[in-house]
Structure 1
Amino acid sequence: MKKKILLVEDEPTIQRLLHFILSKEFDVQATANGYEAFLWLEKQEIPDLIIMDWVMPQMDGKSFLKCLKVSGLYCEIPVIVLSASENIIEEVGGLPYTVNQCLHKPFDPLVLKETIVSIFKTPTYGFVN
């Protein structure tokens, strides 16, 4: 059975690109912002990984990540943050909760896949800043 990835990305082009890159190996579900992602999470089973944009409408990445990490139900889901911000590592690193990886846009699809495989190979899906 394929691992399930929830993609939280507001740019349709990037959504389609990520779906194309990942859908052969993973079950990829996409939402356009943090608010839609939480609606999806309430109705579906918990994904194995969340790949999220940092700058989104309605509920941005920082707000979504905070809600995710303080929840009892979703706090253990591994998270990869994608962002065009040059300071994303500092922004995420300054938060009281952690993510598994931050990747800059434009990102290398092979590096993204390697990151995902590495997270899934980690016995506890270990969290790092």
Structure 2
Amino acid sequence: MALLNVCDVIDDPDFWSDAILIQAIVTVSQVGIAQASQSGAAFTGVIWPGNGLGLVQSGEGDWVEGDLMIVTRYPLDTGKREIAADGVIFGGLPYTITNAQAWPFGDGFTQAVCKLATINPSLTGQQSSGGFLGS
């Protein structure tokens, strides 16, 4: 078992899930008005639910944040000054990438943590009938 190359498993299409990456580039005009232009691209990766232990306490109530873990060869980014954090649509729900780094177990992979972008997706018309992981 020590000779198992985990990259072979991650690259196996049996483990892949399809998602859409939303990238936004923010440009600021000379008068200081910011405008974002978005582009979407389909990508594949191994996607599974995170630990879901992020309890958020607020005046409106308490909830556990929905999160995803993604390992993919597609470059994912948490954003910079001119570039907003990438978004991911998975299972019909929008997520925002909060942490992305090189995956330590294989060259060319990115590991990302994504948080649910909306507190109540049903209010935005975005929801998944397949549960947390979608269909």
TM-score, reference length from structure 2: 0.22
TM-score, reference length from structure 1: 0.23
Q: Which has the larger radius of gyration?
A: 2
Higher strand share: 2
